[in-house]
Amino acid sequence: MSYIMVDIEADGPIPCDYSMVCFGAVVVEPTLQKTFYGKLKPTSESWLPDALKVSGFTREETLAFDDPTQVMREFADWIKTNSRGRPLFVSDNNGFDWQFISWYFHHLLGENPFGHSSVNLGSLYKGLVNDTFQNFKRLRKTAHTHHPVDDALGNAEALLQMKEMGLKITLE
């Protein structure tokens, strides 16, 4: 099983009504060398300026991004090539990130290589330290910049730190 850390940026709070602008992924392994980055042309006419601002892109820039179906096909191929066994989706905010990735895979490709499950990184940490008031974010080494590859890398670093702290997890 391969753990794949994912982070997305979007121009609104939910898929279908709004669009995923870009996303990044990294296979969680000691080297953190296997990364993916995709920028997607909007699938919706709706967008919220404040949400889009987080990504650092303008609406005009996003309109020139890549075809979403092609990006998702490339991501599915990357997952197949870079993971062993069943890939497991992990995210800092899987309630947000998962809904977009899952919707895009199912809507555009007809299936999601991650299946129907995801893991929340924060919940793993809270369980590890036995305290629901604790936050893992101090374990990141890479700055949280809202570039999704940076954010996925920082979260993958945190998961590797959790393994060092005693989290029972098998990584490549």
H helix runs in the chain, sequence order: 49-55, 59-63, 68-82, 94-104, 121-129, 148-164
In a domain, 172, yes or no: no
Residue 156, domain extent: 2-164
**The pLDDT of residue 60:** 98
In a domain, 6, yes or no: yes
Return the residue matching tokens 């669009």: 19
Q: What is the pLDDT of residues 9-20, one digit of tens each?
A: 999 999 999 999
DSSP labels, 54-96: HHT--HHHHHTSB-HHHHHHHHHHHHHHH--SSEEEEETTHHH
Write down the pTM of the prediction. Answer: 0.96
**The pLDDT of residue 171:** 84
**The pLDDT of residue 154:** 98
Return the residue matching tokens 């895979």: 105
**The pLDDT of residue 172:** 63
C-beta of residue 146 within 8 angstroms of C-beta of residue 9: yes
In a domain, 169, yes or no: no
Domain count, the chain: 1
In a domain, 143, yes or no: yes
Cα 57 from Cα 102, distance rounded (Å): 23
Name the phi and psi angles at 22, rounded to 5. -160, 165
Q: What is the pLDDT of residues 110-134, one digit of tens each?
A: 999 999 999 999 999 999 999 999 9
Q: Which residues of the chain have pLDDT under 50?
A: none
What CATH number is given to the structural domain containing 80? Answer: 3.30.420.10
